[in-house]
Chain A
Amino acid sequence: MLYALLCYDSEEVVGAWTKEQDDAAIAKLEVVQKELARQGKLGPVARLMPTTAATTLRKGKETIVLDGPFAETKEALLGFFIVDCASLDEAIAVAKDLGKASSSNGCYEIRPLSLFRPGAAGS
């Protein structure tokens, strides 16, 4: 089963990192990712730009384009990993590993995928 690990965290806190702190945070996460990649379990990984760069389109008869993210919450969706795990337990274990390597609080939402097309953009 493919799982999406959606990273939610306080943008204000993560945005306040210095470049050194940010680089260190990414480096620690990459150690875990490398191991997952070695096991053939790692799919696409994405880091999203701050929600200030987001635009939301409300569907309907007439679509409305709004500035900002889908919802204004304390913790925003900052990025995601796609991992291939045999079970939810394994996906939770992977999320725990990432969590240990992570430099902030926040949380991971673990959501199984029902459709996955790797695509070719950006590669």
Chain B
Amino acid sequence: MNDLGWIDLALRSARPRAVGALLRYFRDLDAAEEAFQEACLSALKTWPENGPPRDPAAWLIFVGRNSAIDSLRRQSKQQALPDEEQLSEDGTDAEADLAERLDGAHYRDDILRLLFICCHPELPATQQIALALRIVCGLTVKEISRAFLVGDTAMEQRITRAKSRIAAAEIPFETPDAHDRAERLAAVAAVIYLMFNEGYSATGGDAHIRAPLCDEAIRLGRLLLRLFRDEPEIMGLLALMLLQHARTEARLDADGNIVLLEDQDRARWNRPSINEGLALLDKAIRHQRPGPYQVQSAIAALHARAARAADTDWAQIERLYATLERLQPSPVVTLNRAVALSKVEGPEAALALIEPLGPQLASYFHFFGVRGALLMQLGRADEARASLDRAIALARTAAEAAHIRLQIDRLLNRGGEPCPSAN
């Protein structure tokens, strides 16, 4: 790259490993971030001339650690270490090799710890996501506040509050055993999927602003899978995100209206993304250790494999939702199974399946959307209308409301067309 863009990219991709290692040294998030900032400043000074070090993360860890130790020594009037310029002229690689030897054994747990502290159970989900974006991904507060559609100051405060809560809590520095590691991995995977959904479920005019949340979540998913290569659920998580994200461009029309899965122009789906998702799912299934992410990605894969909406294997999708219900019982999963069931056995069976969910999903937009559509198919127009009105009242975005209004128009004009919830 002719410009200095490559330095930005190198710093960004080295960040999780470098900040993770510095956190282990300093046992303090602010100190680790500050040391990383110092190291980045040195990199901006020396890399354009000297070229990139062979292992940018090891370089940043070494320089970051030294600059922090150096400033401590300066404060205590002891002898300083050689400065960074000298360091990068001679023997950088040797020094970086040393840092690498020190860190190679740890970096998996370093990055996992860094992610894990962002997933602190005491933090509300939005703070977990914001913190992961700030600390692990290195997004600026401005970028994060744009992604969440809040003001910079509000987001700054949110992140500061989240950080002080973490500082007060105990950060687990000991090397985790297999059980702890599995638990951390599950918690981290859940927050990555939350981050993805935060970006993905935001439909409407602001959708393009929130795509970065999906991109970052996929980036973190890849990172996690590189660290834990043989975890089928992490393969499933990444496959799921890739398969869903592949549909992004087809999900809204030129006016920002929601386009249903079955009406989407499948030529606009991102093929490389789908192929990668399918490859990962294949790898995961080999392990024969099914889990919720794998099942959900298998469902997404069935949609991706159907050349036309009419080719969708709804019977298999219905069975997969039934599996998901057993693995992870939730009324929302049952609602989704009902949509599949309506395709296989008709609206009556589906309606019977969802009616008992009413009390639990009383404020859930999709419940009333699906219910209204099923009633519509059964020719119960008045009840359908009432359900769809309720859906409009519960819509979170203008696009969602517009989508339901369209259904109502169809109801008034022609009556009876299916309307699955998901797109």
A positions within 8 Å CB-CB of B: 10-13, 15-18, 21, 49-53, 55, 65-68, 74, 103-105
Contact B222 A15 (CB under 8 A): yes
Contact B6 A52 (CB under 8 A): no
Residue of B nearest to A21 (CB): B5
Contact B276 A16 (CB under 8 A): no
Question: Given the complex of chains A and B, what is the CA–CA distance between A67 and B282 in angstroms?
Answer: 11
With contact pairs A50-B222, A52-B280 given, residues A105 and B55 touching in the complex (Cβ less than 8 Å): no
B positions within 8 Å CB-CB of A: 1, 5-6, 9-10, 12-14, 51-52, 54-55, 215, 219, 222-223, 225-226, 229-230, 235, 238, 275-276, 279-280, 283, 286
Ordered nearest first, which 8 A-B pairs have the shortest CB separation?
A12-B13, A68-B229, A67-B230, A67-B229, A52-B225, A53-B279, A16-B13, A13-B9
Contact A53 B276 (CB under 8 A): yes
Given the complex, which residues of B lie within 8 Å of A18, measured CB to CB? 215
Question: Given the complex of chains A and B, what is the CA–CA distance between A10 and B14 in angstroms?
Answer: 10
Contact B226 A13 (CB under 8 A): no
With contact pairs A67-B230, A68-B230 given, residues A53 and B13 touching in the complex (Cβ less than 8 Å): no
Which of these, B6, B230, B238, contacts A13 with CB under 8 Å? Answer: B6
Question: Given the complex of chains A and B, what is the CA–CA distance between A66 and B230 in angstroms?
Answer: 8
| Shortest distance between the CB of B238 and any CB in chain A (Å) | 7
Contact B6 A10 (CB under 8 A): no
Given the complex, which residues of B lie within 8 Å of A10, measured CB to CB? 10, 13
Question: Given the complex of chains A and B, what is the CA–CA distance between A55 and B275 in angstroms?
Answer: 15
| Shortest distance between the CB of B216 and any CB in chain A (Å) | 10
| Shortest distance between the CB of B4 and any CB in chain A (Å) | 13
Contact A74 B52 (CB under 8 A): no
Contact A17 B238 (CB under 8 A): no
Contact B283 A53 (CB under 8 A): yes
| Shortest distance between the CB of B339 and any CB in chain A (Å) | 30
Contact B230 A104 (CB under 8 A): no
Given the complex, which residues of B lie within 8 Å of A50, measured CB to CB? 222, 276
Contact A13 B10 (CB under 8 A): yes
Contact A16 B219 (CB under 8 A): yes
Question: Given the complex of chains A and B, what is the CA–CA distance between A17 and B6 in angstroms?
Answer: 10
Question: Given the complex of chains A and B, what is the CA–CA distance between A50 and B375 in angstroms?
Answer: 46
Contact B10 A52 (CB under 8 A): no
Contact B6 A12 (CB under 8 A): no
Which of these, A49, A66, A68, A104, contacts B6 with CB under 8 Å? Answer: A104
Question: Given the complex of chains A and B, what is the CA–CA distance between A15 and B16 in angstroms?
Answer: 14
Given the complex, which residues of B lie within 8 Å of A51, measured CB to CB? 226
Question: Given the complex of chains A and B, what is the CA–CA distance between A67 and B223 in angstroms?
Answer: 15
Residue of A nearest to B8 (CB): A16
Given the complex, which residues of A lie within 8 Å of B238, measured CB to CB? 52
Given the complex, which residues of A lie within 8 Å of B13, measured CB to CB? 10, 12-13, 15-16
Contact A16 B12 (CB under 8 A): yes
| Shortest distance between the CB of B298 and any CB in chain A (Å) | 17
Residue of B nearest to A105 (CB): B52
Given the complex, which residues of B lie within 8 Å of A68, measured CB to CB? 229-230
Given the complex, which residues of B lie within 8 Å of A49, measured CB to CB? 275-276, 279
| Shortest distance between the CB of B275 and any CB in chain A (Å) | 7
Given the complex, which residues of B lie within 8 Å of A15, measured CB to CB? 13, 219, 222
Given the complex, which residues of A lie within 8 Å of B276, measured CB to CB? 49-50, 53
Given the complex, which residues of B lie within 8 Å of A11, measured CB to CB? 226
Which of these, B5, B14, B275, B280, contacts A12 with CB under 8 Å? Answer: B14
Question: Given the complex of chains A and B, what is the CA–CA distance between A103 and B283 in angstroms?
Answer: 31
| Shortest distance between the CB of A106 and any CB in chain B (Å) | 10
Residue of B nearest to A50 (CB): B222
19 additional contacts (CB under 8 A) given A15-B13, A105-B51: A10-B10, A10-B13, A12-B14, A12-B223, A13-B9, A13-B13, A15-B219, A15-B222, A16-B13, A16-B219, A49-B276, A50-B222, A50-B276, A65-B286, A66-B230, A67-B283, A68-B229, A74-B55, A105-B6
Question: Given the complex of chains A and B, what is the CA–CA distance between A21 and B223 in angstroms?
Answer: 20
Given the complex, which residues of A lie within 8 Å of B52, measured CB to CB? 105
| Shortest distance between the CB of B270 and any CB in chain A (Å) | 9
| Shortest distance between the CB of A11 and any CB in chain B (Å) | 8
